Amino acid sequence: MDQVVAIIILLVFLFANVSMIQGSTRVGFYSETCPKAEKIVKSTVESYVNANIGIAAGLLRLHFHDCFVQGCDGSVLISGPSSERTAIPNLGLRGFEVIEDAKGKIEAECPGVVSCADILAIAARDSVVLTKGLSWSVWTGRRDGLVSYASEVLANLPSPTDSVSVQKDKFAAKELTTEDLVTLVGGHTIGQTDCQFFRYRLYNFTSTGNADPTINPDYLAELQRLCPADGDATKRVALDKDSQNNFDVSFFRNIRNGNGVLESDQKLWSDPSTKSLVQMYAGALGGLFGLRFELSFAQAMVKMGNIGVKTGTEGEIRKICSQFNG
């Protein structure tokens, strides 16, 4: 019973907050002009995720990387010399073919109507749902951007070696709070990273000759086995130990227990300004705290999805997601 009351309070809290966000996108932007758009994205994402569940995390990450550079405008999807895709932090991105496939099917149904930026935002939501996370209504009406510069990627995207203070600054630059930061990093509950992005923590961290002391000793042995000092730099390791395909709070419990893989994730537990949020999401009171995370994640995704959106007559509706109409 208490849980039911808490759920109702959380729902009221969620909708009250969302309605206050002043974006220019809205739920159901294509309900008249392309009513099948969301269904087409969903079935396309489903078929790829069923074949390879890792694609779900890839699509969520692709949306995130899109939004942090030039806003959520599909700029990350452009291919070609010196586009965002060619920047080092974007080299491991995956899921482009899913967006292009959904775009092709939607163009056949209603040409020139649905933006690639919106397809990506819908695909990110569907990916969370397919990994058993909570759904939300995606606000649509974004238009596709007209530029994509590799040179803008590094300064805008958070990096695995960023301090909490730098991570907070990068989120604040997009009008996202510290709570949004911790919540959105929770997206690491699904997916993997490469040995090269954390191996420096395992052997000679900050030239001490030892591993990062914040790594749980049991887990350190496992990570060292997975990523030998001279092994394959591109070998993939789960970001959320033992739960990489389930969208849940296990990621926060892993952080609390010293089982974070990326340095920037583990630091959320060292910094007093983020520790309490990790603690809350990791909370042991069963489903309730899981729900709190999932509702907050949905809310933070709507907020992130409104970063720098182009609407109305700005930008264009691309015909092919990897190319400007030009």
Could you list the active site residues?
A: 65
Residue-level length of the chain: 326
Nearest to 120 by CA among 108, 106, 132: 106
Q: Among residues 188 and 199, whose Cβ is nearest to ligand NAG? A: 199
Q: Is the CB of 161 or the CB of 257 nearer to ligand NAG?
A: 161
Taking the least distance from each CB to ligand NAG, the nearer of 149 and 200 is: 200
| Cβ at position 229, least distance to ligand NAG in Å | 9
Give the nearer residue to ligand NAG in terms of CB position, either 22 or 207: 207
CB 144, CB 98: distance < 8 Å: no
Q: Is the CA virtual torsion 60, 61, 63, 67 positive or negative?
A: positive
Smallest gap, in angstroms, from Cβ of residue 201 to ligand NAG?
A: 13
What's the closest the beta carbon of residue 205 comes to ligand NAG, in angstroms?
Answer: 9
7 class by beta-carbon count within 10 Å (0-12 exposed, 13-18 middle, 19+ buried): middle
Q: Which residue has the tokens 């007559």?
A: 313
Instruction: List residues near ligand NAG by CB under 6 A.
Output: 204, 207, 209
Distances (CA, A) of 142 to 231, 263, 307: 43, 33, 10
- C-alpha–C-alpha distance, residues 59 and 93, integer Å: 8
CB of 148 to ligand NAG, least distance (A): 37
